[in-house]
A = this chain, B = another copy of it.
């Protein structure tokens, strides 16, 4: 296995993502991941329970969200707490943008991994819900705020992953939350727009 190198865990993760990308998740074995990372299989199992866990290892995000929710300044409105929390979480993704994009492509190619990802997002939503209640929000408001927060996170994340201009994740979060405010603002039926013109617009779309 050659001489000892530092950061076995990081090398295992990068090796796994390369193999999942090249060969597919199902066709990759732990032995191959260990060989590419230049460690033994035993070392792999010291860091991860199985090859799926390489993709879903991190409680880092849940920790960041819970801490940011607890420490957000007191007079913030619920959606401002969400804005603060998601902005605090942005570096978790930006610092490892390339690995995050690789990981997302692997998950998108595999329905079983997608279900696992949805379960993980739902569990993030529950953590956010609890953290909001600990801030003093009533349970109905906390549940709704948490769901809207996760909805905004999903949309901002998808925009960031697909952004050809590679704008910062934090910018996509801001834009998504601004769009949320606009979407949910009381509708003003523009006086200048009557049914016919909108119909034309839709037909042209």
Contacts and interface: CB of A to CB of B under 8 A. Distances in A.
A114 B122 CA distance: 10
B147 A151 contact: yes
A179 B122 CA distance: 21
Q: How big is the A interface, by class?
A: 35 or more
A183 B143 CA distance: 12
Interface stretch (A45-53, A70-78, A99-107): A70-78
Contacts of A164: none
B140 A179 contact: yes
Contacts of A185: 181, 184-185
B180 A184 contact: yes
Contacts of A189: 75
Given A118-B118, A118-B119, A159-B140, A78 B183 contact: yes
B136 A202 contact: yes
Contact of A79 (B73, B78, B159, B187): B187
Interface string A133-166: 0011000110111011011101100110000000
Nearest to A138: B205
A183 B79 contact: yes
A58 interface: no
A186 interface: yes
Please list the 5 inter-chain residue pairs (A to B) with the smallest Cβ-Cβ separation, ordered nearest first: A77-B187, A147-B151, A136-B205, A136-B202, A184-B184
